[in-house]
Structure 1
Amino acid sequence: MVRPRAQAAHGRSFGTQARVYNEVRPGYPDSALDLALTGWEPQWSGLRVCDLGGGTGILTRRLLARGADLIAVDPDTAALERNPAPTKIGTAEDTGLEAESLDLVTVAQAWHWFDEAKAAAEVARILRPGGRLLILINQLDVRVDWVLRLSRIMHAGDVYRPQYRPQPGNGLALTDRRLVEFTTELTVDGIVDLARTRSYWLRSNEKTRARIEANLREYFSVEHPVSGTVDLPYMCLAYLLERV
């Protein structure tokens, strides 16, 4: 088990691979983003949004393109250097943002790095009454046998399954959810780069990294041969919560 302090430290290390992260990590499907506005009068244009754990800006760019008035918050300064939005150094547990100043908080690929109860209390504090939290989690679709094997070689650590439901409490209640299946096209080199963006790789020594890369290349040359590119299956788990 990773201790909370060590877990937080791992969550701040992705900036070291910021360029690669942007190139090989998948974006988020439109239907997953659209969950944020389900049954809601506000539209994206002018919506006051915090992309919490915004990092290099994979989700941030999509939200800016939709017209959101957005600030990205993250403790990783190296990652934020690539984020196109106004940024603020902060954590999910202490954003430094004003109380009741936001319509929507988005958390993409970062919820598992937070202290859930403390983060929920902070999100509830900075949301206006009736404001929303959208949690997005892209997972390798390990329901597919060859992807399950791949994830084990990579030590991918994709721990959430479709049955998962966030229940943080502290003023936030789950109101809707959605599972969206999609694929992203990568070469074998791209999949090796994908492994380089994983927390297991980032905290491993060079010997372990070399072994992972060798195992990946052998897998795609022998067990699951690939010529050119492969469509890598993912599922996006989307959860909508509301400040109550």
Structure 2
Amino acid sequence: YLPLSSEGDVPQSVVGSVLAVADKLDSVISFFKQGMIPTGSNDPYALRRQTIGIVQIIEANNWSFSFKELLEVALEKIYGLKDAAQIEGLVEAITSFTKSRVLQKLQSYHISHDIQEAILHAENDDILMSIHYAQALAAHQADEDYKMVVEALARVVNISHKEVAPYTVASELLETASEKNLYVQGNHLATIWNQATIEEAYQALRDLTPYITAYFEENMVMVDNAAVKQNRLATLARISQHILQVADVRKLITK
């Protein structure tokens, strides 16, 4: 039954932790399946407390995994749901509810509101990574180049976030030196991303800044040539997908 409160002690064993998460998640899924979802301050079955407990246990055990994938497996294999639309709806509703509890955890760490919003809108359903990415952004907020880094990354996301994977780049259509350089740097980012620590991921995005700046100074993305335009959008989208795993940088305040 631990933790008993938002700041309470978590289970001390791995088995206890797994059982506690299973028990709390069962409550959340069961009520959400019946459409009994907390609204406003109304939460008669303490689903918010149970969900923040899940977040606390995951953080305490340093468990990194896709929360959506866990829900999908549980709904299909344990709760026997067959309807794809119902499963998708429940996964989205429970994930959104859980992300709000992650924000509650970030508030306890005195993370600024704009970083909370950026994390909330990130394309990332790993609870532990969400917390760590928020802490990393907060740690670099006072850096001299923070504004420049965020604005460069936001520019990439702004222009390419509507692109749909797979992002295919034809190297023969790359025209300028800055375009070729950003393409090479994007390849490097993709190579190191999955093995990078949180700090290494931030530094990798930070290192892209001068290449992004040079790219936009020398290249127009929305050109008349449709093939070149699509190629440039794909180049940026490949980078944008990694940025958005960290945070929706467009929500970050740099003034």
Computing the radius of gyration from Cα coordinates, the structure with the larger value is: 2
State TM-score, norm by structure 2: 0.21
TM-score, normalization by structure 1: 0.21
Would you tell me which structure has more helix in proportion to its own residues? 2
Larger strand share, 1 or 2? 1
